[in-house]
Structure 1
Amino acid sequence: MSRLLESRLSRRATLRGGLGLAATTILAGAGLAGCSDDNNDSDDGDHNAGTGTTPPASSQTLSFDSVPRSLADQVVVPDGYSVDTLLAWGTPIVAGAAAFDPATNTAADQAGQTGMHHDGMYLFQADDSPNQGILVVNHENITRENLLPAGRSVDGDGMPNDPEQIRREMAAHGMSVVQIARDGNGRWAHQMSSFNRRITAMTDIAMSGPVAGSEYLVTPYSPDGTATRGTLNNCGRGFTPWGTYLSGEENIQGYFTTTDTSPALSRYGIDDVGFGFFWAAVSDDATDEDNGEFARFDVTANGSGATDDWRNEVNNFGWVVEVDPGDPSSTPRKRTAMGRFRHEGVEPSLITEGKQIAFYMGDDARGEYCYKFVTEDAWNAASPAPDMLDRGTLYVARFDDDGTGKWLPLDVSKSATLAGRFASQAELLVNTRIAADLAGATPMDRPEWSAVDPISGDVYYTLTNNSDRGSDGEEAVNAANPRANNTYGHIIRQTEAGNDPAATTFTWDIFVFGAPASADDNINRSGLTTDNEFAGPDGLWFDRRGVLWIQTDNGGNEVADATNDQMLAVIPAALSGDRTITPDNQASLKRFLVGPQGCEMTGSELSADAKTLFANVQHPGGRFPDYTDGVPPRSATLAISRDDGGEIAL
């Protein structure tokens, strides 16, 4: 990583297709790079995974005791740890932004404050400056009764009719880019900085890659199909070795409405209701805008010509968005070569000089697929190829019952079947889900986040749940998804052949099954106890020391009845045997944190010195974190530290 830091400034101007050179850096004399990650930069590339040898054992052990289950409206951490609230929804981060007051804040105020529903995040920080960095946080969704405490203004049909309120909802989505620093007492706080900015559902975005400039992205706003406005439902995150942030757009179907019923729309769940946002119901005539500010969210083909036909607007969403945190004037870019679906994590493979980079991704819905995008160019830190995310091959995974698997290319030039269905690669990428269906991929139990083990190079995916598994007309039980009515979820692990990110075959096994401790052996296959029972594995992340962090989104089941959502930790390299969680070694999996009532735990990061763990509390339902009359619950980023100043968890 030190070599990446040294070379970053000289290469930024030629990389990322328009994500420009930062005029200044956050750290005097040093470039901005992501150093709290789980990847390395190895010259020999020998990580011993998938080569017939055993990955190196780890002598590390977790130093804390599992915290008990909790239903309290508070954050529970091990003895000897403390928790601070770093960035709550509504924190002013842009100069001149108003203080948080949901009763009086305007859309413009919200556009200068942190958004709602914190999700994936990444800390850009240099190893030699552990006391400051730039944090980028996703904001997935909103809780309307908290954002608009006086209620939403609607017409006689119950449709929204106040442009200011809709703009405020849009401004609460997206991402926050925030400089943070630690004071002499070890407390973290956000800083007012020129790096700080909000990216919302209204921000100008450039389209990039094979779909950019195609007929599928042409709208009245962008007649040449190269630009759009906004990013939505930003969920899992990723990063690049050249110091940029990747954000996955997930449930895009919730924001658009249509009365059309084409296969392309129905395969992505676009219907006449969505999540009930109905932003298109607000008349553009009631605003100072005449560019489809709200009308664009109705993607019904009206046949009246290009000036007000927004049928293609939905195709501008469902992508991976790249953001340069070191250049606040840069325009975010949606990288279309990486496919269009309900993106969660975008985790890179181990970064190895002279090798291509794979980015592992999940499509978060029952019966959807695991993907990877492999760059065409090999990584060269001294002279990286430009636009690496615009050139490469998108693959979808087939998990065979014998523990092997195959990466199936989604490329019209490599498949007669796909070439017979799609006229171009641009059309295929807009319809990635349909292409994956035709390729013969394995439908999975809601693939969400991905993570890469820095010791072995193995790839992990959370499969959150699938209550339809085994039902009539739904996906049959198979070896990779072996439980019918899977309400608890599991985590699957892949090993690329030859530890090569560009490999087209892999082996796989199931790392751990979520389950209540009280369930029988057919359900509780990993032998979990009350010290580590969990359900709904969602957020997933390796810190660079090899600790795997699992975050949960329980849903309604017995585990949710016993405890709020949580974070667990385990060191896979330290496990014996095949390094999966079994009844014999389940105690190696420990509960580190339990969140407050009604929340989902999601997004985590470790400071460069490993002394602060950052984690996000999303949509708490009690009174966290203010516990003050009249103040609604607020999603927030936590900063967790050890009271003795030691490293987190070890």
Structure 2
Amino acid sequence: MARSLIDDDGVSNPSRNLHLQQVVERSLAINPARRRLMLGGLGAAALPFLSMLSGCLGSGDDSTAESAVPEQMLGFTAVAASSGDAVVVPAGYVATAFLPWGEPINAQAPAWKPDASNTAADQEQQVGDNHDGIHYFGFNAAGNGPGDRSDEGLLVFNHEYINPEYFYAPDTDAQDWRLPFTLEKARKGQAGHGVTVAHIRRKADGSWEHVKNSPYNRRIHGNTPIAIQGPAAGHPLMKTAADPTGTEVLGTLNNCGNGWTPWGTYLTCEENFNGYFGWNGEHTQTVLEKRYGITQDGFGYLWHTVDSRFDVNANPNEPHRFGWIVEIDPFSPTSKPVKRTALGRFKHENAALSIAPNGKVVVYMGCDERNEYIYKFVSSGTFDAANPYSAANRRLLEEGTLYVARFDAGATPADKMGTGVWIPLLPSTVGVDGRALRNNPHFAASSDAEVRALILIKARQAADAVGATMMDRPEWVAVNPKNPGNVYVTLTNNSRRGGTTSNSPDGTTTAGSARPPVDEANPRANNVWGHIIRWTEAGNDPTATTFNWDIFVLAGQPSVVGERAPSSNINANNLFNSPDGLAFDSFGRLWIQTDGSFSNSGDYAGMGNNQMLAADPTTKEIRRFLVGPSGCEVTGVTWTPDRKTMFVNIQHPGELGSHPNRPKNPDGSTFSDNQIARNPTAFSQWPNAGQRPRSATVVVRRLDGGVIGG
């Protein structure tokens, strides 16, 4: 997420745990030959630990099985970078905007008003803002439940946040278009978050329509009743005056990435929930608030000034009720969504689900902040493949074990890059200080059940305590469909590097710097470009507690040599920075989406707007497939089962940021958010000329009706 109003780039991790870069540095210090290879251009394809996949990644590699369909892995002509205000796709493809912010969710809902004057009640019946994670659920043959139809289904997608400069009509204060701020405005903002469920249908010409009279159409937003389930439900930290049982919360917020289950449900992930909270009057920030980034003014949304639910002085436990993964049944429009506390509380980016050979359900998750961790959940129950939509399967996320990753260096050159361990976050797990978590003051309680609830509510502190590896902002995780033990993660960037890690491992002190040090193996003092890591679980079993890992790609400028050089699979035709969204299609292509700088200058020269690329996991070839409009992030992707339609989300078009085309004043200064709010078409008019920019889903099709990408 990138926006001008807020700063979500802070660091909340005060531990002295190792950062991944320190792990790689130690590995290279042990193996001088490996160091020479890395510094000789960081050529990923040339490195033995990257090219010998059968040795590094186990017996199951990234190769795809031969298909009866003559389909190529990268069967399209790459597009050039662009800084224009349009979506660019390859020759032979068409991209059409669909279901933008404000679209009425059903035939009775009020129309969107181009002057942004819709009310909170209106917004609750309209598609939300800033589209993000997305999934297509096909209907069954009867059209009354989940199935594999490619011509009709439910499109379910997230709304991460709002851009107030476009979301609100300017008010009377000349210096701040939002003021005076009212409860009505807060309610409208809350309604712009959450999830949309839309019934869609393919027409005879191949285009798509929204079936507005369908009972499946639904909005879930910041004031929708949601159940709290799992080990943390009912804990004292989850209780409020409005919910003394700690089992029901209003709303889901900052819905970033997503996941989906084989039993037909959607997983929406709460990411930067901390930014909506603040406090009025005097308040001493607690250790827990600091660890999760709760500050006096949050991200500047102002909700806490008019809605006491978001004032931690009035409701100190309300923040604990956010930061979870929420399960939604899109085929049951009257069902209540459920926050699954067994999967832990942190800044969830997405949820990548895999079924292990023994039937256990595994969910991989990243905590999207610099110097945070990668987690996985392993269910207690097993998946019944013979009855995929059974009630028993729908309870598999209720109970299980949460793990956090520690990435270790390899001891010899034969170890390729490195190994890793999944550390269970259980009361009996011994931390780096030699104490079991049940004896750590953060989790002190009278029973192991309560200790476990505290571990889940304070998952970040539990990960600190057991020595998990700090990562460069772990975002989307993707599981290779050709080998469910092979997993990829985007590490978007890290501008908070180059200090020391002298803090307490349990986060109780804050002296010193939490910046991990610069090192030779990942030698960028400011990792502005990001990279993608992959690992393979031992025995290709997603439930394994050990794994091998390597680097799939280091983004950057190929003209740069030495310490900052990118991987050899980066060239002038596929430049990108800040990989974020990540997904495999069923053929085995890896799709990479970006959320980074679109300045198109300096370190980012030649990269243009944010984009989506496709990668061959075996050869590591990467081609640019799509470029988004001015100021946007490209995020979230899904396909119909036949792969002839792709749905991609375009988030926050028109966000001023560092775009070279942002409007300027006569004195040369650039427009402020206050100015763009009063002249909302000055920068971007995507997707409708003459109107303020609106987030939307883009429907991508081949003109010849073929499969996407092949």
Going from structure 1 to structure 2, the CA distance change for 1:50 and 1:67 (only over 3 Å counts) comes to closer
Residue 335 of structure 1: aligned partner: 340
Structure 2 counterpart of 1:510, from 544, 551, 574: 551
Determine if the alignment matches structure 1 residue 363 to structure 2 residue 404. no
Residue 618 of structure 1: aligned partner: 651
Residue 698 of structure 2: aligned partner: 638
**Alignment identity in percent?**
47
Residue 85 of structure 1: aligned partner: 97
Shift, 1:387, TM fit: 2.1
User: SS at 1:348's partner residue?
Assistant: strand
Going from structure 1 to structure 2, the CA distance change for 1:123 and 1:624 (only over 3 Å counts) comes to farther
Residue 67 of structure 1: aligned partner: 79
Shift, 1:385, TM fit: 5.0
Residue 526 of structure 2: aligned partner: 485
Residue 289 of structure 1: aligned partner: none
Residue 264 of structure 1: aligned partner: 288
Residue 344 of structure 1: aligned partner: 349
Query: Across the two proteins, how many residue pairs are aligned to each other?
Result: 571
Contact preservation (8 Å) 1:353, 1:378 = no
User: SS at 1:572's partner residue?
Assistant: coil
* Structure 1 residue identity aligned to 2:270: E
Cα distance in structure 1, aligned partners of 2:186 and 2:480: 42
* Structure 2 residue identity aligned to 1:311: P
Cα distance in structure 2, aligned partners of 1:380 and 1:482: 47
Residue 408 of structure 1: aligned partner: 423
* Structure 1 residue identity aligned to 2:102: G
Residue 374 of structure 1: aligned partner: 378
Aligned Cα root-mean-square deviation (Å):
2.3
Determine if the alignment matches structure 1 residue 418 to structure 2 residue 437. yes
Shift, 1:501, TM fit: 1.4
Q: How does 1:27-426 map to 2 (within 5 A)?
A: 51-52=58-59, 54=61, 56-57=63-64, 60-103=72-115, 104-126=117-139, 128-151=148-171, 160-192=180-212, 193-258=214-279, 259-282=283-306, 294-300=307-313, 309-349=314-354, 351-352=355-356, 354-382=358-386, 384-385=392-393, 387-402=395-410, 403-415=418-430, 416-421=435-440, 422=443, 423=445, 424-426=451-453
Residue 468 of structure 1: aligned partner: 496
The C-alpha deviation readout for 1:587-645, integer Å capped at 9, x for no partner, is x210001111100000001111111111011000143434433x210001000111111
Contact preservation (8 Å) 2:558, 2:566 = no
Tell me which moved more, 560-569 or 67-76.
560-569
Going from structure 1 to structure 2, the CA distance change for 1:161 and 1:77 (only over 3 Å counts) comes to closer
Going from structure 1 to structure 2, the CA distance change for 1:470 and 1:204 (only over 3 Å counts) comes to same
* Structure 2 residue identity aligned to 1:419: R
Contact preservation (8 Å) 1:74, 1:596 = yes
Shift, 1:236, TM fit: 0.7
Cα distance in structure 2, aligned partners of 1:482 and 1:438: 27
Contact preservation (8 Å) 2:265, 2:328 = yes
Cα distance in structure 2, aligned partners of 1:48 and 1:634: 48
Tell me which moved more, 415-424 or 238-247.
415-424
Shift, 1:55, TM fit: 5.1
Name the TM-score, length of structure 2 as normaliser.
0.77
User: SS at 1:400's partner residue?
Assistant: strand
User: SS at 1:407's partner residue?
Assistant: strand
Contact preservation (8 Å) 1:538, 1:602 = yes
The C-alpha deviation readout for 1:509-566, integer Å capped at 9, x for no partner, is 0100111233225323313112111100000000111010000011366326640000
Cα distance in structure 2, aligned partners of 1:85 and 1:608: 21
Tell me which moved more, 137-146 or 373-382.
373-382
Going from structure 1 to structure 2, the CA distance change for 1:352 and 1:399 (only over 3 Å counts) comes to closer
Contact preservation (8 Å) 1:137, 1:177 = yes
Residue 637 of structure 2: aligned partner: 604
Cα distance in structure 1, aligned partners of 2:613 and 2:455: 38
Going from structure 1 to structure 2, the CA distance change for 1:608 and 1:181 (only over 3 Å counts) comes to same
**After TM superposition, what 4+ stretches of structure 1 lie above 6 angstroms from structure 2?**
152-159
Structure 2 counterpart of 1:628, from 689, 699, 710: 689
Going from structure 1 to structure 2, the CA distance change for 1:226 and 1:325 (only over 3 Å counts) comes to same
The C-alpha deviation readout for 1:119-168, integer Å capped at 9, x for no partner, is 01111115652111101110001111211122487999997542222211
The C-alpha deviation readout for 1:273-299, integer Å capped at 9, x for no partner, is 1011121212xxxxxxxxxxx201011
